[in-house]
């Protein structure tokens, strides 16, 4: 499928002109710089001392006396610490629930000629074309009595159709003979799923699981409309205090003289919200092109 | 190999159906949680769209609120604010088509032209990353870099140049949101183009080169025609989603830039319904967007399908 596997230039290709090489090099450096630069500034500012931040007008490229004061302050109990735990809880519980429901439905829809599978699949795909809309979704959550319950930020987004289609496509690619062999051994559908299908699908399970985890971690809109302020996850707190410009009314911040500059705190919150994504990114990177592409081609 | 017992008498349809149901009962049980989710949170919510034909009274709830027919819709169609939101949506969508759509293609061509696999993989890893950040983080990063006290103005000031007023300036809103979407998803968008470029038959390049075609002519006569079907396909799909220009991104910045510059259909629904409490009115606007949007996506899919076939046979 991939025509160019060797690192070398093919024999028919002429040597690139120096000017072309320079132009390409400049373009690459600019692209990389634009992507990486904001992260450098944010991390540097979060580590900088108050004096430096103030002297520099709010940002620092390289902290001369790095300090972890901002991080100590936000982890010292208070809004950000609480929000961090909420985010972790929503991400863990949400991902587990989503994976369970997605795997079960994808598996049942992947088996050939299952009774009722066709209408169910159509029902699922139609939601892709016609989402219910923000207001009806809100009223439904309200009628179900889920306002200010963590279920309100998990249940309405329990299954992502794209993830479901990717997983179903992968399950369908498992050779039919394996199913037949397992059935001849007397295994039930449930056992086939556990013993045959899941061990063969580690790659797609990893991709879909990470996609779910990233989306739960990044979510803030549902939290902003369904949850009270003291139940907010980190992204919604970040939104209010960094984009909205509100002050962090931390109890820890009251100790006079030992308070980090507001910019430093904001940037530290930004770093804390980003780091989990950076941590799982290498794993995503390892699997996603494969998983995403098989799914994209299928649909 | 499954051996069936010979059937003695012809089975009725109902009988057969019951047999299949009985045979698949475990799988049907596995389906239940997911099916329940779609029925409750998609089709249940879909039913809630009846509120667009009612006047929502919080005390009596969704079902007992009084019917008002098409009042919400006629009010909406004569509401200048609504049409302004439609205008902003289409304006931003067109800007995205012109400036955001070609960006991943250009980057993919650059990446594809790299002969070093290692370098290409490194650049790919870097440029895919912003796709996984939340809009909150992206907007905050832009604020930090382009804001009045940000990195860009710091450099401009140090160099003795005029500083630029971008963050919070309504005139700069539309270019800014396009720049944000390029930063966030420009790299991610290369995946599909790179896959298309990788599938171009190497021999086409080779014979073109042997016939004396230089890099530019190979690009013009081999690369472009080969990836044209996928480019057209993606363009059509994007046109089908022209009414969606990034709700979260706009909502995060709508307050700072004002409705004049930043109100799109989705944020109009949000402010009318969830902020002002006009649920019926807001649901009407949302339903309008949903119906038109679904029709556009459906048409785009049909069109893409037709052109896709042509693309294969030409």
- Kindly report, residue by residue over A126-159, the tens digit of the pLDDT: 998 888 899 999 999 999 999 999 999 999 999 9
Q: What pLDDT does residue A183 have?
A: 85
What whole-number distance in Å separates Cα of residue A106 and Cα of residue A94? 18
Contact A277 B132 (CB under 8 A): yes
Domains annotated for chain A, with CATH where assigned, are 18-67 (no CATH), 79-234 (1.10.3720.10)
Contact A12 B205 (CB under 8 A): yes
Confidence of residue A18 (pLDDT cuts 50, 70, 90): confident
- Kindly report, residue by residue over A202-241, the tens digit of the pLDDT: 888 988 999 999 999 999 999 999 999 999 999 999 998 8
Tell me the average pLDDT of chain A.
85
Mean pLDDT to the nearest integer, B127-144: 92
B220 CA to chain A: closest CA distance, Å?
Answer: 16
Q: What pLDDT does residue B135 have?
A: 96
Contact B227, B193 (CB under 8 A): yes
**What residues of B are in contact with residue A127 (Cβ under 8 Å)?**
38, 42
Residue A173 per-residue DSSP state: T
What's the angle, vertex CA B99, arms to CA B113 and CA A22, rounded to 5? Answer: 35
Tell me the average pLDDT of chain B.
88
What whole-number distance in Å separates Cα of residue A134 and Cα of residue A132? 7
B258 versus A255: which is more confidently predicted? B258
Q: What pLDDT does residue B7 have?
A: 55
Q: Which fold has domain B71-313?
A: MetI-like fold (1.10.3720)
What's the angle, vertex CA A284, arms to CA A280 and CA A289, rounded to 5? Answer: 165
Least confident of A48-52, A249-253, B109-113, B224-228: A249-253
Confidence of residue A259 (pLDDT cuts 50, 70, 90): low
Contact B148, B165 (CB under 8 A): yes
What whole-number distance in Å separates Cα of residue A9 and Cα of residue B215? 13
What whole-number distance in Å separates Cα of residue A155 and Cα of residue B81? 33
Highest mean pLDDT among B58-62, B90-94, B162-166, B192-196 belongs to B90-94
Confidence of residue B36 (pLDDT cuts 50, 70, 90): very high
> Which ranges constitute the DSSP H helices of A64-201?
69-74, 79-110, 117-129, 134-143, 161-172, 176-184, 189-192, 198-200
**What residues of B are in contact with residue A292 (Cβ under 8 Å)?**
191
Interface of A with B in 216-245 (CB under 8 A): 217-221, 225, 235-236, 238-239, 242-244
A257 CA to chain B: closest CA distance, Å?
Answer: 24
Contact A265, A139 (CB under 8 A): no
**What residues of A are in contact with residue B41 (Cβ under 8 Å)?**
132, 137, 140, 155-156, 158
Q: Is the pLDDT of residue A299 over 80?
A: no
Domain ranges of chain B: 71-313
Q: Is the pLDDT of residue A298 over 50?
A: no
What's the angle, vertex CA A26, arms to CA B216 and CA A57, rounded to 5? Answer: 145
Confidence of residue A246 (pLDDT cuts 50, 70, 90): low
Least confident of A75-84, A140-149, A225-234, B100-109: A75-84
Mean pLDDT to the nearest integer, B43-65: 89
């Amino acid at each position: 499928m991939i025509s160019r596997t060797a690192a070398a230039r093919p024999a028919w290709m002429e040597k690139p002109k120096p000017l072309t090489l320079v132009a390409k090099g400049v373009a690459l450096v600019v692209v990389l710089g634009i992507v990486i630069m904001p992260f450098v500034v944010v991390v540097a500012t979060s580590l900088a001392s108050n004096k430096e931040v103030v002297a520099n007008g709010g940002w620092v490229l390289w902290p001369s006396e790095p300090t972890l004061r901002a991080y100590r302050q936000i982890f010292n109990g208070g809004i950000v610490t609480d929000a961090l735990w909420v985010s972790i809880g929503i991400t863990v519980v949400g991902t587990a629930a989503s994976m369970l429901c997605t795997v079960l439905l994808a598996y049942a829809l992947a088996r050939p000629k299952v009774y009722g599978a066709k209408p169910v699949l159509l029902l699922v795909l139609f939601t892709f074309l016609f989402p219910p809309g923000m207001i009806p979704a809100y009223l439904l959550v309200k009628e179900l009595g889920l306002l200010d319950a963590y279920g309100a930020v998990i249940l309405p987004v329990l299954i992502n159709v794209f993830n479901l289609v990717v997983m179903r496509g992968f399950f369908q690619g498992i050779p039919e003979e394996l199913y037949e062999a397992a059935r001849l051994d007397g295994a039930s559908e449930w056992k086939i799923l556990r013993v045959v299908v899941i061990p063969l699908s580690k790659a797609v399970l990893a991709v879909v699981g990470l996609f779910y985890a990233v989306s739960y971690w990044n979510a803030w809109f549902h939290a902003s409309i369904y949850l009270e302020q003291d139940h907010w996850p980190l992204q919604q707190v970040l939104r209010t205090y960094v984009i909205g410009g509100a002050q962090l009314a931390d109890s820890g911040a009251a100790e006079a003289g030992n308070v980090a500059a507001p910019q430093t705190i904001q940037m530290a919150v930004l770093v804390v919200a980003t780091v989990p994504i950076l941590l799982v990114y290498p794993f995503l990177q390892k699997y996603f092109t494969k998983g995403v592409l098989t799914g994209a081609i299928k649909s | 190999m499954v051996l069936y017992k010979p059937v003695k008498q012809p089975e009725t349809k109902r009988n057969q159906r019951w047999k299949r149901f009985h045979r698949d009962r475990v799988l049907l049980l596995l389906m239940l949680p997911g099916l329940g989710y779609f029925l409750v949170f998609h089709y249940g919510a879909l039913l809630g769209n009846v509120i667009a034909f009612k006047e929502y009274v919080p005390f009596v709830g969704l079902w007992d609120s009084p019917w008002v027919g098409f009042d919400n819709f006629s009010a909406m169609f004569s509401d200048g604010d609504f049409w302004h939101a439609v205008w902003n949506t289409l304006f931003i969508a067109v800007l995205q088509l012109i400036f955001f759509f070609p960006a991943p293609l250009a980057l993919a061509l650059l990446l594809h032209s790299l002969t070093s696999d290692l370098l290409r993989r490194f650049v790919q890893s870097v440029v895919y990353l912003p796709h996984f950040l939340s809009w909150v983080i992206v907007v905050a990063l832009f604020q930090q870099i382009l804001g009045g006290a940000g990195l860009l103005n710091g450099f401009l000031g140090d160099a003795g140049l005029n500083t630029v007023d971008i963050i919070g300036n309504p005139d700069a809103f539309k270019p800014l949101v396009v720049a944000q979407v390029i930063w966030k998803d420009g790299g991610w968008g290369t995946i599909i183009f790179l896959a298309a470029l990788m599938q171009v038959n190497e021999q086409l390049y080779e014979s073109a080169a042997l016939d004396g075609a230089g890099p530019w002519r190979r690009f013009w006569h081999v690369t472009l025609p080969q990836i044209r079907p996928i480019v057209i396909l993606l363009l059509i799909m994007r046109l089908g989603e022209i009414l969606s220009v990034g709700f979260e991104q706009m909502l995060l910045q709508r307050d700072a830039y004002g409705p004049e510059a930043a109100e799109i259909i989705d944020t109009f629904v949000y402010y009318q319904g969830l902020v002002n409490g006009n649920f019926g009115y807001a649901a009407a606007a949302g339903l309008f967007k949903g119906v038109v949007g679904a029709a556009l996506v459906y048409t785009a899919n049909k069109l893409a399908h037709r052109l896709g076939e042509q693309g294969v046979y030409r």
